[in-house]
A and B are shown apart, each in its own frame.
Chain A
Amino acid sequence: MTVSAVSARQVHKQYAGERGVLALDGITIDIPAGQFVSILGPSGCGKSTFLRCVAGLEDITSGELQVNGKPVSGPPDGIGMVFQRDALLEWRTIRRNLLLPIEFAKKSPAQYQGKVDQLLDLTGLRDFAQSYPRELSGGMRQRAAICRALVDDPGLLLMDEPFGALDAFTRDQMNFELQRIWSEIRNTVLFVTHGISEAVFLGDIVMVLSPRPGRLVEVIQVDLPRPRPLSVRETPEFGKIVSHIRSLFDNMDLGTEKGAGK
């Protein structure tokens, strides 16, 4: 049997303190390598917490969490991460931003120039290699951040609401772009979002989480053929999955967050 890219067994996460919030409650899932996994849930459901635990940025309270068969303690090797705000370094040109992971890994930047060019071509940023981040639009900056996360060929790409700060049009475009980029790379992706349509459009698998405490409500396989055009969202098959997920949220007690899951 092959090793899962990510394997979680009864993962609990409780924050310290007297009124320590139970952020994750018994998350159990095996994610096979090469799958695009959307982690979907309303605000406060612990989806980002789960991602941060996988990234080794936070410790789990109990349970087992493995990446590539090794228990997570601290950030695992071979992961790339994309943050909600692009986290580009303003004082570096786009090219030098992309080379940061290479420098940190003590590899030779010279050997990765070709890789950088390839990623910039793939994302249409070739003409901006020598620009500073502030010269780029929000969508372009986030594309550059994705390139940076991909430059060292991570087997696992973690994306924490990467398009959350973008406007709706840019977001649609970025969804399409991301699918195109990923279809060339085919690594494992964990993609955190609170957009149902985005989660279904991008994912092979959608993990639906409920809020407070964060529980895994259902794991949904999305068997829509790829590449998916944006218009796939108007098909009955797509609509069926979306309305099923919506019904899951309708049955959740979202408390004050009612409606946040749309």
Chain B
Amino acid sequence: MKMSHLKTGAAGTFSLIVVLVLWEIVCRMFAIRPIMLPLPSAILAELGAEAGWYFEQSLYTLFTTLAGFLIAVVAGVLIAVALVGSRLFERFLYPLIIGFNSVPKVALAPLFVVWMGTGAEPKIAIAFLIAVFAVIVDTVHGLRSVPSDIIDLGRVLKGSSWDFFFKVKLPCALPSVVAGMKVAMSLALVGAIVGEFVSSQKGLGYIIMSAQGTFDTVRVFAALFILAFMGVVLYGLLAWVERRATPWRPVHDD
């Protein structure tokens, strides 16, 4: 298991290096203008030269992403529990949630700036809003998929509904919750960047917007490199959480 992860990691790194080398060769062979597509070596040099600054900006984006993500997980699970637990909630709230989910959340970003200003709050709010539905939908699905035999077992054992929820229903739903969290993490990152696009003086989204304004394509790509790296690390983190949280499940690479 450990071994296969190392192998996947090594193979992935190898492919990445091959792509970067090819990219470098193609750029030099066809003398592509750096403003269209800069050299990977130039991008890496840019990252190295201003490492401290990029690190600071990345931390800001990482912070808003994680804050939005965590709020989305907590709120999403609670909303899902309320939906599954109460007919009333389900009847009145679920259609509203489904309807709200079909609104492109990105389109709401400017509104949040009006409401919350230009600090971290609107970015966190957008990251949360984009991510929360994935958590709700997958958690509801998980809570509803408890096998009928196991529900009967719970009834025959006559435990408290507290016990049944925490010892049976929630663990049953856990794999779905974690699957929802994986999706939510990627979406929270999207939300944070969109928030920074709309209005910000900080973060990777801000770098991309401002560098684009001055045709500093190297800088745009530098931010994209960091974003890609961040996405992979966050996803890997959740895959690790998944293995730790559900040790009874066979290992599945995806």
Binding site for B on A (CB under 8 A): 52, 55-57, 74-75, 77, 79-81, 83-85, 87, 89-92, 100-101, 103-105, 132-134
How many residues of B are in contact with the other chain, CB < 8 A? 24
Closest CB in chain A relative to B193 CB, distance in Å: 36
What's the least CB distance linking A56 to chain B, in Å?
Answer: 8
Q: List 16 extra interface pairs beyond A56-B155, A80-B156, A134-B250, CB under 8 A.
A: A57-B152, A75-B158, A77-B158, A81-B153, A81-B156, A85-B147, A87-B152, A89-B150, A91-B174, A101-B157, A103-B167, A104-B159, A105-B157, A105-B159, A132-B247, A133-B248
Minimal Cβ-Cβ distance residue in A for B168: A89
In chain B between 206 and 254, which residues have their CB closer than 8 angstroms to a CB of chain A? 246-250
Find B158's partner among A89, A90, A104 (CB 8 Å cutoff).
A104
Once the chains are docked, how many angstroms separate the CA of A208 from the CA of B164? 36
Report how far A75 CA is from B154 CA in the complex, Å: 10
Cβ contacts under 8 Å, B248 to chain A = 90-92, 132-134
Report A84 CB to chain B, min CB distance, Å: 7
Chain A CB within 8 A of B149 CB:
yes
B: residues with CB less than 8 A from A are: 147, 149-150, 152-160, 163-164, 167-168, 171-172, 174, 246-250
- CB pair A87 B147 closer than 8 Å: yes
| Contact sample, A vs B, 17 pairs, CB 8 Å cutoff | A55-B156, A57-B155, A57-B156, A75-B155, A80-B156, A81-B152, A81-B153, A83-B153, A85-B149, A87-B152, A89-B168, A90-B249, A91-B248, A92-B248, A103-B159, A103-B163, A104-B154
Docked pose: A89 CA to B174 CA in angstroms: 13
Minimal Cβ-Cβ distance residue in B for A90 = B248
Q: Which 4 A-B pairs have the closest CB atoms?
A: A104-B159, A87-B149, A104-B157, A132-B248
Contacts of A87 in B (CB 8 A): 147, 149-150, 152-153
Which residues on A sit within 8 Å (CB–CB) of B171?
A: 89, 91
Tell me the minimal C-beta distance from A169 to chain B in angstroms: 24
What CA separation (Å) do A105 and B158 show in the bound complex? 7
Please name all residues of chain B whose beta carbon is closer than 8 Å to the beta carbon of A101 when the two chains form the complex. 157
Which residues in A have their C-beta under 8 angstroms from that of B167?
Answer: 100, 103-104
The smallest beta-carbon distance between B68 and chain A, in angstroms, is 29
Q: Are A91 and B149 in contact (CB under 8 A)?
A: no
Q: Is the CB of B158 within 8 A of A83?
A: no
Instruction: Return B177 CB to nearest CB of chain A, in Å.
Output: 13
Q: How far does the Cβ of A71 sit from chain B's closest Cβ, in whole Å? A: 17
> Would you give the shortest CB distance from A49 to chain B, in whole angstroms?
13
Closest to A96 in B: B167
Is B150 a contact of A75 with CB atoms below 8 Å?
Answer: no
Across-interface contacts of B153 in A (CB, < 8 A):
81, 83, 87
Distance A55 CA – B152 CA, assembled complex (angstroms)? 9
Q: How far is the CB of A106 from chain B (nearest CB, A)?
A: 8
